């Protein structure tokens, strides 16, 4: 798990990026991006970097190595100001996206725009 955490910290390495462990094998990341495409590409690259570590995981039936699934909730800066979303609601939506990624085959990035006010 330490190698995975280090890989995430190297992918999200700006001073303002926050990478933290939520529990078990789940991590949270707070990242401010200039565009939706930028954050989607970075999440994809972080996923690929973890897989490239080739850490053995005998119980991961599809690939036998540790992989990563990302639930990516995207909120643009303007929408944050006008949003009626609560922190718990954002967390729930992102958690649902994570489980969508896991349920659809794992080792995926699932995202949604959460800036609906």
DSSP 8-state class, residue 61: T
37/86 Cα distance (integer angstroms): 25
β-pairing, 109-113 vs 70-74, is parallel
CB 111 within 8 A of CB 97: yes
86 is catalytic: no
β-pairing, 18-23 vs 26-30, is antiparallel
Of the residues 25, 26, 38, 89, only one is catalytic, namely 25
Active site residues: 25
């Amino acid at each position: 798990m330490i190698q995975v955490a280090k890989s995430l910290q190297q992918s999200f390495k700006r001073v303002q990026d926050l990478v933290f462990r939520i529990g078990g094998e789940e991590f949270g990341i707070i990242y401010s991006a200039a565009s939706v495409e930028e954050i989607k590409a970075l999440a994809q690259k972080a996923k690929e970097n973890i897989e490239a570590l080739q850490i053995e995981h005998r119980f991961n039936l599809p690939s036998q190595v540790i992989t990563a699934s990302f639930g990516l909730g995207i909120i643009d800066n303007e929408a944050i100001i006008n949003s009626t979303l609560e922190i718990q609601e954002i967390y729930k939506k992102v958690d649902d996206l994570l489980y969508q990624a896991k349920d659809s085959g794992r080792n995926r990035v699932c995202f949604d725009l959460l800036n609906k006010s």
